[in-house]
A and B are shown apart, each in its own frame.
Chain A
Amino acid sequence: MAHTIKLTNYNSRLISVTNIKDTTFYRITENNSFPESLRANYALLIKSPIKGEFPEGFGSYLYFESSKPVLVEGVNSFVLADDFDYLATDDVIRFTSNLNLRVIYRRNVSPNYFMVTEQCNSFCLMCSQPPKVVNDLHLVEEYLDVIPLLHRDTPEIGISGGEPTILGQKFVELLERLYSYLPRTSLHVLSNGKSFVDTGFIAEIAKTKHSDLMFGIPLYSHIEQRHDYIVQDKGAFNKTVEGILNLKQFNQKVELRCVIQKPNSGDLVNLAKFIARNLQFVDQVAFMGLEATGFAKSNIEELWVEPENYMKELEEAVWQLTKAHVKVKIFNHQLCLLPESLWRFSVQSISDWKTSYENECNICSKKAVCGGFFSTSDGKIPNGIKAL
């Protein structure tokens, strides 16, 4: 689901490198008169040719062809491909050992997602980030290291995977560290909720006392077996719902997430009723369109359902939940597919770098407020796209 911004600089070139280690992070600045004592941890982003004296002492220098790279012996210098021109002050980057540039954090994007592990204890039919069986502890370690470099006014950080809670104690450590360095930042954790059958684990999390922490937990159907089928794990429904109850018992915030796909597209109303009756205390419910990427792409014939075919069902489900005072959000749905009564629930949710539009959209009056399409969801354009 979630995404580390990971871009390899194919067209970028290294001019000079001396002291880059695998664990080196830089925070970016465009200010070449930055205090000298701090410069070593910063990368100077140079968007136009340097005038005057060369600003010495930065950990690295990032140029574009247009900014007239200056080669200084013994200094880490890179010329970036033009698609990196979005980089800006306070972004955080890292060079990997094979000298690729990874953008770990962007100040102007929210939320920033931390993909803290690729391991998972489910195997969902439509997983956009197919899990791997690997030892990838280095991922979370990297984020633990980078946290002190992030801007203190970061509005929101998403923690995703894989299944982040698989990390156990490391996951708790991550939350603690985030709270220590970024006490005002909202945290949104994407988890399948099964780990929360262990109340001891929740107690550990609750101890961090984070005041703005929400768990986004998928619930695909009111029918146990349907949910289990979608996540490919017998008994998952029971564990997940029990996990939700436990989280609420510890006063944690919970968002239920339902990706709408063929197997559950007829269950929405009954799911809404089930939630209204049994889980009314959750903080919000999100209905999401299918992103045809990862496993979803491979399984597309079994999963794809035209949104126009479930709109009635969705409308009724949303009405049911709203009536029960449950907050509802609709993600990943193009406005022209939603009945107008649902527009106010629709959230522009596709990360900007993943959003694309159709030709039709260019003549649409709603383009500015429409969620558009997943550019990653290749070829799967729903029926009925029509300029408004």
Chain B
Amino acid sequence: MALMKRFKSSDNFPVNSEYKLLPIRFTELDNERVVITNMVGEHIVVSQDSLNSLITRSKPLDDSLLAELYSKHIIYDGVSQLPLKLSGLKYRTKIARLKNFTALHMVVTTLRCDYTCHYCQVSRQNLSSDNSQFDMTVETADKVLNLIFKSPAKALKIEFQGGESLLNFDVIKHIVLNAEIRAETEGRNMQYVIATNLSPLNDEILEFCKLYRIYISTSLDGPFKLHNRNRPRPGNNGHQLTVAAIDKVKSHIGIDHISALMTTSGRSLDFSKEIIDEYIKNGLHAIFLRPLSPYGFAVTKGHINRYDTEKWLDFFKESLSYIIEVNKQGYPLIEQYSSLILTKILTARDLGYVDLQSPAGAMISGIIYNYDGDVYASDEARMQAEIGHTEFRLGNVNENTYEEIIGNEFMLDSIEKSFAISSPQCTDCAFLPYCGSDPVYHLATQNDVVGNKQLSGFCKKNIGIFKLLITLLEDSDLHTKRILKSWARY
């Protein structure tokens, strides 16, 4: 028995095969398949054949594929406005953060450091240096605060960096206490992060961090041997100190208040499992697999050549598969770079990660104040300046107004050039909605803020990761898919 006579059967509601394409891009995923994305990052993986039929209309597509293309807003019927409305809404959601402008303000409290890391990306000063020369002064800190509070963002995040930031704890205290007062009267939400190697940690600092709910971000490069070789410290006890301090932070401030970053050196590449195990041992639930960036000391000392992007991608892939394994065994561990990208792939949001923004995230997503009051568009730009490339120095808090700094000609020009949709190659790349442009990187490596993406390590690294993640989302077992999907942040 079918439907009652008064009803129309489903044949009366066929999927419309007369479609129009919405703005899309496609890129080969592997030999057989392509990834298609639309402007807001919805994606679908189809065979080469289906892509041909879709574009040339040489063969009819089957209904289930058509339906999926419609519901992902890759095609539409050419008449109804709804797909355009929804796409517009999602586009606005993706770039909503732009209206807040700079929310992340990084403050370099000192250049002094007790470590002598080979790869240190900043021209550090050793401990014996004269404080007055390389520490931020209270006067400069006040001017920095003035600038931070000029930012239109309602939620402000201040991140203290170094050198070893805690060596100038007085200025951290000064900034936090004053920021609290201003936030109260101006109705802003504050969040503080201290990036530190944790060796100067003491009870006073712990108490203070606890009181103001401050987040601690530290460096953990892997097990004892690797960590201490990457990050030498007089006494060879860096690893021991770090691990002990991580525990203290957990018990005094809270387990959610500590995170660790690793920097990959050429040496690290053979130790993916050991590095990850070290994170697990320390009860950390997130790891950020970062490549070595081509800045500061890393470039001048030639470490960048120790391994190339290809090798790093292999390392990333191996690490990721071990991380997934660990999750399957019941220990939740997120890889943060994947999490940022999966959020872009699977949700309507964008977390605003500096390196993956178009227009560029430099200055817009974050801005950095050096110990001497110099303002840079990004942390990397500051490092560039240390080796003589001062293009992205936007001004100095002691000499320039907010308007002069934010209106810096070279910066504005770079931002204008940094729209990925107008960059050669990016404009045709399916991964554009997930990617970004990194003018500071490309100026450093190619002497051009846009850069030739064929030669770009940034592009190669990201394409590799995009393809890896999308392939995993397509081909892996259900459990793996769930784990990856659960990393997306809605």
Question: Which chain A residues have a beta carbon within 8 Å of chain B's beta carbons?
Answer: 123, 125, 222-226, 228-229, 232, 234, 238, 241-242, 245, 263, 270, 274, 276-278, 280, 295, 298-299, 301-302, 319-320, 323-325
Q: By the criterion CB–CB under 8 Å, are B89 and A223 in contact? A: no
Q: Give the A-B pair count, Cβ closer than 8 A.
A: 72
- Are B71 and A225 in contact, CB atoms less than 8 angstroms apart? no
Give the shortest distance, in Å, between A293 (CB) and chain B (any CB): 14
- Asked if B15 lies at the interface with its beta carbon under 8 angstroms from chain A, I say yes
Of B4, B10, B12, B90, the contact of A295 (CB 8 Å cutoff): B4
**Are the CB atoms of A277 and B485 closer together than 8 Å?**
no
B2: nearest chain-A partner, CB-CB: A302
Given the interface pairs A238-B80, A241-B82, the reply to whether A223 lies near B2 with Cβ below 8 Å is no
Known: A223-B15, A274-B71, A323-B488. A232 touches B89 (CB 8 A): no
Neighbouring B residues of A325 by C-beta, 8 Å: 490
Q: How far is the CB of A341 from chain B (nearest CB, A)?
A: 12
Are B82 and A242 in contact, CB atoms less than 8 angstroms apart? Answer: yes
Which residues in A have their C-beta under 8 angstroms from that of B211? none
Question: B242 → chain A, closest Cβ, in Å?
Answer: 33
Known: A224-B70, A302-B2. A238 touches B7 (CB 8 A): no
B70: nearest chain-A partner, CB-CB: A224
Closest-CB distance, B91 to chain A (whole angstroms): 12
Question: When A123-B7, A323-B488 are in contact, do A225 and B2 touch as well, CB less than 8 Å?
Answer: no
In-complex Cβ contact of A234 among B13, B67, B70, B482 (8 A): B13
Q: Which residues of B contact A295 (CB under 8 A)?
A: 4, 7
Contacts of A229 in B (CB 8 A): 8, 10, 12-13
Given contacts A125-B7, A245-B89, A323-B488, contact A276 B82 (CB under 8 A): no
Q: How many residues of B contact A (CB 8 A)?
A: 32
Interface pair A276/B347, CB less than 8 Å apart: yes
Bound together, the chains give a CA A123 to CA B71 distance in angstroms of 24
Determine whether B302 belongs to the interface, using a CB cutoff of 8 Å to chain A: no
Bound-state Cα–Cα, A303 to B167, Å: 71
What is the bound-complex CA distance between A104 and B81, given in angstroms?
43
Across-interface contacts of B1 in A (CB, < 8 A): 301
Could you tell me the distance between the alpha carbons of A299 and B486 in the complex, rounded to whole angstroms? 39
Give complex CA distance A242, B3 in Å.
29
B490 near A280 with CB under 8 A, answer yes
Asked, given contacts A277-B347, A280-B490, A301-B1, whether A232 binds B7 with beta carbons under 8 Å apart, the answer is yes
B99 at the A interface (CB under 8 A): no
Assess the A302–B3 pair: CB atoms within 8 A.
yes
Complex CA gap A242/B85 in Å reads 9
Shortest distance from the beta carbon of B477 to any chain A beta carbon, whole Å: 14
The reply to whether A323 and B490 form a contact with Cβ atoms under 8 Å apart is yes
Q: Are B347 and A324 in contact (CB under 8 A)?
A: yes
In the assembled complex, B86 has its CB within 8 A of some CB on chain A: yes
Residue in chain B with minimal CB distance to A239: B82
Between B2, B8, B14, the greatest number of chain A beta carbons within 10 A of the residue's beta carbon is seen for: B8
Shortest CB-to-CB span from B474 to chain A, Å, is 15
A225 touches B347 (CB 8 A): no
Shortest A192–chain B CB gap in Å is: 16
Q: Which of chain B's residues 58-75 have a Cβ closer than 8 Å to chain A?
A: 67-68, 70-71
The verdict on A225 contacting B4 (CB below 8 Å), with A277-B42, A323-B485 known, is: no
Smallest distance from the beta carbon of A159 to chain B beta carbons, Å?
26
Closest to A270 in B: B71
Chain B contacts for A223, CB-based, 8 A: 15, 67, 70-71
With a cutoff of 8 Å between Cβ atoms, the chain A residues found around residue B15 in the complex are: 223, 225
In the complex the two chains form, is A299's CB within 8 Å of B80's CB?
no
- Residues of B with C-beta under 8 A to A242: 81-82, 85
A-B contacts, 24 of them at CB < 8 A, read A123-B6, A125-B3, A125-B7, A223-B15, A223-B70, A224-B71, A225-B15, A225-B16, A226-B13, A238-B82, A242-B85, A245-B86, A263-B10, A274-B71, A276-B347, A277-B90, A277-B347, A278-B86, A295-B7, A301-B2, A302-B2, A320-B485, A323-B485, A324-B490
Interface residues of B in 66-123 (CB under 8 A from A): 67-68, 70-71, 80-82, 85-86, 89-90
Whole-angstrom distance between the alpha carbons of A319 and B252 in the complex? 34
Q: Tell me whether B348 is interfacial, beta carbon within 8 Å.
A: yes
Check A232–B8 contact: CB distance below 8 A.
yes
CB distance B71 to A222 under 8 Å? Answer: yes
Say how far A231's CB is from chain B's closest CB, in angstroms. 10
A263 contacts across to B, CB distance below 8 A: 10
Return A49 CB to nearest CB of chain B, in Å.
52
**Which B residues are CB-close (under 8 A) to A225?**
13-16, 67
Docked complex Cα distance between A276 and B490 (Å): 8
| Inter-chain contact A299/B7, CB cutoff 8 Å | yes
Q: How far is the CA of A46 from the CA of B262 in the complex (A)?
A: 79
**How far apart sit A159 and B378, CA to CA, in the bound complex (Å)?**
56
Contacts A225-B67, A278-B86, A278-B348 aside, 9 further interface pairs with beta carbons under 8 A come to A125-B7, A223-B15, A228-B13, A241-B82, A270-B68, A277-B348, A295-B7, A301-B2, A324-B490
Q: How far is the CA of A244 from the CA of B479 in the complex (A)?
A: 34
- Chain B residues lying within 8 Å of A276, measured Cβ to Cβ, are 347, 490
- Which residues 304-344 in B have Cβ within 8 Å of A in the complex? none
Interface centre among A123, A225, A242, A298 (most CB of B within 10 A): A225
Determine how close the nearest CB of chain B comes to the CB of A316; give it in whole angstroms: 9
* B4 and A299 contact, CB distance less than 8 A: yes
* A280→B486 CA distance, assembly (Å): 16
Cβ contacts under 8 Å, B42 to chain A: 277
Q: Chain B contacts of A320 at CB under 8 A?
A: 485
Which chain A residues border B8 with CB–CB below 8 Å? 229, 232
9-46 of chain B: CB within 8 A of chain A: 10, 12-16, 42
A299 contacts across to B, CB distance below 8 A: 3-4, 7
The interface residues of chain B lying within 8 Å CB-to-CB of A232 are: 7-8
Closest-CB distance, A380 to chain B (whole angstroms): 15
Task: Name the residue of chain B whose CB is nearest to the CB of A222.
Answer: B71
In whole angstroms, what is the CA distance A276 to B16 when docked?
A: 24
Task: Name the B residues within 8 Å of A234 (CB-CB).
Answer: 13
CB distance from A270 to the nearest CB of B (A): 7
